[in-house]
């Protein structure tokens, strides 16, 4: 099914008698059963006001089209959308709806947040076929129940997004990345914590095993030069930090793990515990992002990382096999209640949370 507008989509959902699988650009691949409901017909930028830092587009709009429109005005989406096609061997093109449904976030999350934090409003069709509008198209207009926050990260399980209004930001004039070589994982996390806790507005803090520990500052040229210098002084106890070419798109897309075989796992954890958890896992390779709050790992195929990790504060997802890690009972209870409200016929339900 490929509805051409919201009315056709509503009609298709009302008429559906079995499970539906919402598909944007399909980069995430198909883990669940059901008739495919494509959003490609709901595409196009509907409003872009660079002066007001807002953009409204259909959910099926390719991300590349949005990036190009913003770049032409010296602006960008502030959250860095990961492109995991190479590391997961997937095809397709990311769409705005898929990005919001995944609540996409890259290395800059430590400074600015995720897609959810830039959604001003949305339109969607729920499992009854009802068209819902929430939020607004300007920044001061969030009233009532904040459905926008709920739909960001809902992975097509509560309904179909048809339009999203986003806050956008200017591209910074300059960027500098410092690299500390040779730190072990625990020292690297300590260095990243010191940098992130400093007043020098670090917008990226990552550690690549065997390569180095990277810290990014962005902004006006003079400010970047000053802050990079102060950061270097602050981190002198961890070694001599050198300025290097930007590694951030590789870190965002986890490309250092692209050539490493095995399942791709993502761990969200407490940074101070990250090194100890990773050491217990015996992973083939790892990338630390978000100052150690996010760790990407390659594990031998079929290994259940959670069993090997033991108890830790956080959670793990296997991106190579999304059905391998079911929702925890607590989350499952919450989502079951939401699904009953938004999708009483269970058209979009997906017990595996895939």
Ligand X SMILES: Cc1cc2nc3c(=O)[nH]c(=O)nc-3n(C[C@H](O)[C@H](O)[C@H](O)COP(=O)(O)OP(=O)(O)OC[C@H]3O[C@@H](n4cnc5c(N)ncnc54)[C@H](O)[C@@H]3O)c2cc1C
| Footprint of ligand X (CB under 6 A) | 22-29, 39, 59, 81-82, 84, 88, 90, 92, 94-95, 97-99, 101-102, 104-105, 155-156, 160-161, 319, 322
Distance between CA atoms of residues 4 and 156, nearest Å: 18
- Between 187 and 315, name the residue whose CB sits nearer to ligand X: 315
- Between 187 and 321, name the residue whose CB sits nearer to ligand X: 321
Least CB distance to ligand X at residue 189 (A): 22
Least CB distance to ligand X at residue 173 (A): 26
- Between 218 and 343, name the residue whose CB sits nearer to ligand X: 343
- Between 218 and 253, name the residue whose CB sits nearer to ligand X: 253
Cβ atoms of 267 and 280 closer than 8 Å: no
Distance between CA atoms of residues 341 and 24, nearest Å: 23
- Between 81 and 178, name the residue whose CB sits nearer to ligand X: 81
Least CB distance to ligand X at residue 43 (A): 10
- Between 27 and 75, name the residue whose CB sits nearer to ligand X: 27
Smallest CA-to-CA distance from 13 within 27, 28, 3 is with 3
Least CB distance to ligand X at residue 300 (A): 19
- Between 24 and 247, name the residue whose CB sits nearer to ligand X: 24
In the complex, residue closest to ligand X by CB: 98
Least CB distance to ligand X at residue 98 (A): 2
Least CB distance to ligand X at residue 341 (A): 16
Please state at what angle helix 221-234 crosses helix 185-196, rounded to 10 degrees: 130
| Residue 319, CA distances (Å) to 106, 160, 230 in order | 16, 22, 38
Least CB distance to ligand X at residue 36 (A): 10
């Amino acid at each position: 099914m490929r509805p051409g507008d919201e009315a056709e989509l509503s009609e298709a959902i009302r008429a559906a008698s079995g499970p539906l699988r919402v598909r944007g650009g399909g980069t995430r691949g198909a883990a669940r059963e059901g008739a495919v409901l494509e959003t490609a017909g709901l595409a196009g930028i509907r409003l872009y006001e660079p002066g007001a830092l807002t953009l409204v587009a259909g959910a099926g709009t390719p991300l590349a089209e949005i990036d190009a429109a913003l770049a032409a005005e010296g602006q960008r989406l502030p959250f860095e959308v990961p492109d995991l096609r190479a590391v997961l061997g997937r095809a397709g093109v990311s769409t705005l709806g898929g990005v919001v449904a995944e609540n996409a976030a890259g290395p800059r999350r430590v400074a600015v947040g995720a897609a959810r934090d830039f959604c001003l409003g949305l339109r969607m069709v729920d499992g009854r076929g009802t068209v819902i509008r929430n939020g607004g198209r300007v920044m001061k207009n969030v009233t009532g129940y904040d459905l926008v926050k709920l739909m960001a990260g809902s992975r097509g399980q509560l309904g179909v997004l048809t339009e999203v209004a986003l806050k956008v930001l200017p591209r910074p004039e300059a960027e500098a990345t410092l690299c500390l070589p040779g730190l072990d994982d625990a020292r690297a996390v300590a260095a990243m914590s010191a940098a992130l806790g400093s007043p020098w507005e670090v917008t990226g803090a990552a550690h690549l095993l065997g390569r180095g520990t990277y810290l990014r500052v962005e902004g006006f040229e003079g400010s970047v030069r000053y802050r990079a210098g102060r950061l270097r002084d602050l981190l002198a106890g961890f070694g001599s930090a050198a300025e290097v070419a930007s590694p951030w798109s590789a870190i965002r897309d986890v490309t250092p793990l692209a050539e490493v075989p095995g399942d791709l796992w993502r761990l969200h954890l407490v940074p101070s515990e990250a090194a100890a958890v990773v050491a217990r896992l015996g992973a083939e390779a790892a990338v630390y992002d978000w100052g150690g709050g996010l760790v990407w790992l390659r594990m031998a195929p079929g290994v259940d990382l959670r069993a090997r990790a033991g108890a830790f504060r956080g959670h793990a997802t296997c991106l190579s096999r999304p059905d391998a890690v079911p929702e925890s009972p607590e989350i499952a209870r919450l989502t079951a209640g939401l699904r009953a409200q938004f999708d009483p016929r269970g058209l979009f339900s997906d017990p595996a949370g895939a």
